[in-house]
Homo-oligomer: A and B are copies of this chain.
Amino acid sequence: MASSQTRRGGPRDLREHVAELERRGKLVRFDMPINKDTELMPLVRLQFRGLAEEERKAFLFEHVTDVHGRTFAMPVLVGALAGSRDIYCIGMRCEPGEVLERWSAAQQHPIPPRLVEGGPVHEVVLQGKELRGEGNGLDRIPIPISTPGFDCAPFTTMSHWVTKDPDSGRRNLGNYRGHLKARDRLGILVVPTSDFGVQWAKYRRQGRRMEAALILGCAPHISFTAAAKLPGFDEFAVAGGLAGEPVELVRCKTVDLEAPARAEIVVEGVISTEELEPEAPFGEFIGFMGERHLNPFFSVTCITHRRDAIYGAIISQFPPSESTKLRQMAFEPVLYRHLKVHANLPVTDVAFHESGGSWHYIVIQLKKSNPSQAMQALHTAVGFDPTIGKIFVAVDDNVDPHDADAVNWALCYCMQPHRDMLVVRGRTGYLDPSASPLGEKDIFPPPSGNSALLIDATRKWEYPPLSLPKREYMERARKLWEAAGLPRLKLKAPWYGENLGKWDAELEEDAERAVRGEYYETGEKLARQRRKME
């Protein structure tokens, strides 16, 4: 674990990360003028509907305009946190195979943040009149419309809220959108089951407004923890654990909170707990527009930012998106660790499928040492959070849990619906339009909420071998393939056969005889075993 305690030379802020993306060929600098409200997000969207994941890049828009012809000093950055798995790993400064372990080590060895006296985020401080009137306040920030044609306003998306529990003082850092309503006012969506929602309800019961600091743009490892599910942790400390050094925080100017010293922009303010306003619609990561509901709003008391701040946005909405990738990369390690450490299960991988919004389709890969472990893993997973997961599938360790086709193969040949499935009631259906047609009751429609499906798609007994040639023949074929100059292969597991228990010495001998060209001898043997039908 020593490696998590030493600084890895990771990016200290968003701009260092942008430089690294550019160095690695993962940044498009877009220097044609682009309208933030009608053109910018649709352009980036195209790569999520029309390119393979490994081709996707982060986009830096350097000439941002709006419909009125206004130009902005700040450039807009999109897709820089999780435009793809590769981009995420650049932010994490690790290889794709190391993400699970990196998260696990950070939770094992969190490093508390360090308070410092000042930082670049305070280079510009806007208060009072500077928050109102054209070009002032939030008008300075080129917040794009994510889903033109359906969204009712620009929304902040790389949008991390710092709040504190009024009783324990415990800090929370979470990523939630901000609905741009005025130059000094944002609407917010409070999910009651989130830490943010729980804190807000406490403030409300105490008759107090909730102070908040909205961080717009910071080092990727901080953003990664803001998008993760880390119950019981100070997210800044886990971010410290990821980086191997403490996050440096500065005190905010107008609220009793702290924010990263090297953030790009921080918006300080207070959230209503007595009055609500309609919020949204906003395009959701589930693939449908989120509905308009009454929700709190945030009144800005101060904006601070770096002199040459970059405004960062996350592209979410229809999956797959940056939002589903971000959640996938953060949720998988957390559930993996929960199953492995807290339930002592022989879990070898966990996959949150982006098709389900990295929320509702979850596959657990394990190497069972006991038949009950598949159902145990499914129960532990469904118990983790009342909103996360509608379909949970357990598979053996020779099935790639990230590949929908591989999982479907296991569903077809390792599972019987009447025997290996369980429907679980009493779930909360966060953002799930299939729950009910009533709108307001979607979260827990009577009489017993939403449901989830647990499927044990592991083998229940010994199976015949996989029907692929043995490894030695496939290796030999690979050499022939290359010698013949055939196109480059990108082999997908499994690509050679494997004994799964149901195979005996006689069959093994027959197979060996066959490749020696002595199959007629086997034919003669089988003729000697000929028998009359009963």
Q: Which residue from chain B places its CB closest to the CB of A134 in the assembled complex? A: B520
**A2 interface contact, C-beta 8 A:** no
Q: Within A455-483, which residues are at the interface with B (CB < 8 Å)?
A: 459-470, 472-474, 476-478, 480-481, 483
Q: Within A387-432, which residues are at the interface with B (CB < 8 Å)?
A: 390-391, 404-406, 408-409, 411-421, 423-425, 432
**A185 interface contact, C-beta 8 A:** yes
Decide: B421 and A182 in contact? CB cutoff 8 A: no
Bound CA span A422–B412, Å: 16
Closest Cβ–Cβ distance, residue A428 to chain B (whole Å): 13
Contacting residues, chain B, for A490 (C-beta < 8 A):
50-51
Decide: B468 and A147 in contact? CB cutoff 8 A: yes
Decide: A464 and B289 in contact? CB cutoff 8 A: yes
Bound CA span A103–B297, Å: 59
Q: Which residue from chain B places its CB closest to the CB of A483 in the assembled complex? A: B32
Q: Which residue from chain B places its CB closest to the CB of A531 in the assembled complex? A: B276
Decide: B288 and A464 in contact? CB cutoff 8 A: yes
Stretch at the interface among A36-44, A302-310, A325-333: A36-44
Contacting residues, chain B, for A510 (C-beta < 8 A):
152-153, 281
Count residues of A near B (Cβ-Cβ below 8 Å).
Answer: 151
Stretch at the interface among A238-246, A334-342, A354-362: A354-362
Contacting residues, chain B, for A30 (C-beta < 8 A):
484
**A140 interface contact, C-beta 8 A:** no
Bound CA span A514–B36, Å: 11
Decide: B468 and A317 in contact? CB cutoff 8 A: yes
Bound CA span A529–B412, Å: 52
Contacting residues, chain B, for A376 (C-beta < 8 A):
none
Contacting residues, chain B, for A187 (C-beta < 8 A):
526
Bound CA span A33–B47, Å: 45
Give A282-310 as 1s and 0s: 1 = Cβ < 8 Å from B's Cβ atoms: 01111111111010010000000000000
Query: Beyond A286-B412, A289-B503: 19 further Cβ-contacts under 8 Å?
Result: A47-B489, A49-B468, A50-B492, A147-B497, A152-B507, A153-B519, A153-B522, A289-B464, A290-B464, A318-B466, A353-B408, A355-B408, A356-B408, A356-B411, A359-B412, A360-B413, A417-B451, A417-B452, A419-B451
| 10 chain-A/chain-B pairs, Cβ below 8 angstroms | A38-B476, A42-B474, A51-B489, A67-B515, A150-B467, A152-B513, A154-B519, A275-B532, A356-B411, A390-B415
